[in-house]
């Protein structure tokens, strides 16, 4: 079994274990991988402006004040593990976000990835809690077959056919890119969920918390074939450096540091991240919905949009 498939199995098993592979805290590794598949396409990723407002995240739903209302509704639908579901809503949220972006693109309403997220988040927040739950979760909690079939009956295969970094996913992306209509597909992203503090071997073995484990996140890929544009729809918005979830870097590389259950520090020495930066050019999303040349900051961890 390939290393990436071994990690996929660990992520689906959701058993506590130590991280042994390098991670990243941004979508730029995903961006670079997608550019190798679609080199001539414009690719829009969530990115945080240094001095701008916080990037909207659909995963803030449900907020604390409506969580119990949603849990009561889920109980009426005979859903087990309600807290587990509400803590891991990335798939239905990614599907909803992708569908809304697709709609904006088709209607010519797309302006920027930030503004689209902002609008969709505001629309979701204005709905009555049960209306939002029905909209986001009704089909998800009644699905007979597991993902990726949730995204549509045409999505045959397993997670590895839509897995970031896997060769099978490249084929799936190329098929979608040659579809003459705006389309969406899931992209599963291996990540690691960190514990707040380093766990002992005993704590790791006995842990029942959803932490200190490989996990599987999902984003949507929205294809605007006519304009050769691709939009990454991540319900989390941008990844926050220092948070407890980091994407696994692709291609897979063993960590330089020892295996751990604590936040990785982005697999770099903190002093190295303070080394002087150099500027160059990268394609970034523009408020008018086009791609233009902008600057990135080259750091030891890669390229960070500025």
Q: Would you say 265 and 85 are in contact if contact means Cβ atoms under 8 Å apart?
A: no
Q: Would you say 97 and 233 are in contact if contact means Cβ atoms under 8 Å apart?
A: yes
Question: How many angstroms separate the Cα of 175 from the Cα of each of 29, 155, 172?
Answer: 22, 12, 5
What is the predicted pLDDT for the residue at 286? 33
**Which segments in the chain show pLDDT lower than 50?**
268-306
What is the predicted pLDDT for the residue at 145? 66
What is the predicted pLDDT for the residue at 180? 84
C-alpha closest to that of 297 among 34, 31, 281, 272: 281
What is the predicted pLDDT for the residue at 269? 38
Question: How many angstroms separate the Cα of 206 from the Cα of each of 192, 202, 306?
Answer: 18, 6, 43
C-alpha closest to that of 220 among 186, 252, 244: 186
Question: How many angstroms separate the Cα of 231 from the Cα of each of 58, 185, 186, 257?
Answer: 16, 11, 12, 34
What is the predicted pLDDT for the residue at 230? 96
What is the predicted pLDDT for the residue at 205? 86
* Reported pTM: 0.84
What is the predicted pLDDT for the residue at 144? 64
173's tokens: 């992306």
What is the predicted pLDDT for the residue at 241? 76
What is the predicted pLDDT for the residue at 170? 96
CA–CA dist 96, 136 (Å, integer): 7
CA–CA dist 246, 21 (Å, integer): 11
Q: Is 55 exposed, middle or buried (0-12, 13-18, 19+ CB in 10 A)?
A: buried
Buried b (16+ CB within 10 A) or exposed e, 246-281: bbbbbebeebeeeebbebbbbbbeeeeeeeeeeeee
Q: DSSP letters of 243-277?
A: SSEEEEPSS--B-SSPPBSB--GGGS-TTGGGSPP
What is the predicted pLDDT for the residue at 266? 55
């Amino acid at each position: 079994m390939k290393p990436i498939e071994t990690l996929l199995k660990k992520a689906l098993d959701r058993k506590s274990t130590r991280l042994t592979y390098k991670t990243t805290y941004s979508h730029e590794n995903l961006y670079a991988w997608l550019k190798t598949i679609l080199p001539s396409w414009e690719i829009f990723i969530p990115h945080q402006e240094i001095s701008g407002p916080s990037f909207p995240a659909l995963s803030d739903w449900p907020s604390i004040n409506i969580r119990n209302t949603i849990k009561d509704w889920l109980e009426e639908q005979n859903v087990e593990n309600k807290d587990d579901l509400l803590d891991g809503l990335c798939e239905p949220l990614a599907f909803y976000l992708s569908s809304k972006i697709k709609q904006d693109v088709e209607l010519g309403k797309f302006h920027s990835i930030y503004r689209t997220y902002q609008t969709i988040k505001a629309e979701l927040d204005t709905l009555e809690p049960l209306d939002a739950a029905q909209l986001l979760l009704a089909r998800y909690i009644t699905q007979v077959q597991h993902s990726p079939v949730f995204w549509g009956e045409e999505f045959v295969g397993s997670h590895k056919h839509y897995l970031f970094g896997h060769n099978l996913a490249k084929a799936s992306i190329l098929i979608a890119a040659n579809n003459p209509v705006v389309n969406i597909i899931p992209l599963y992203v291996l990540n690691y969920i960190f514990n707040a503090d380093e766990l002992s071997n005993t704590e790791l073995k006995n842990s029942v918390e959803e932490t200190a484990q490989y996990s599987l996140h999902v984003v949507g890929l929205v294809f605007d074939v006519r304009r050769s544009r691709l939009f990454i729809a991540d319900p989390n918005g941008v990844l926050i450096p220092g948070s407890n979830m980091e994407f696994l870097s692709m291609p897979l590389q063993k960590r330089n540091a020892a295996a751990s259950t604590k936040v990785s520090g982005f697999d770099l020495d903190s002093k190295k991240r303070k080394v002087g930066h150099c500027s160059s050019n990268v394609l970034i999303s523009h408020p008018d919905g086009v791609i233009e040349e902008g600057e990135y900051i080259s750091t030891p961890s890669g390229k960070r949009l500025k």
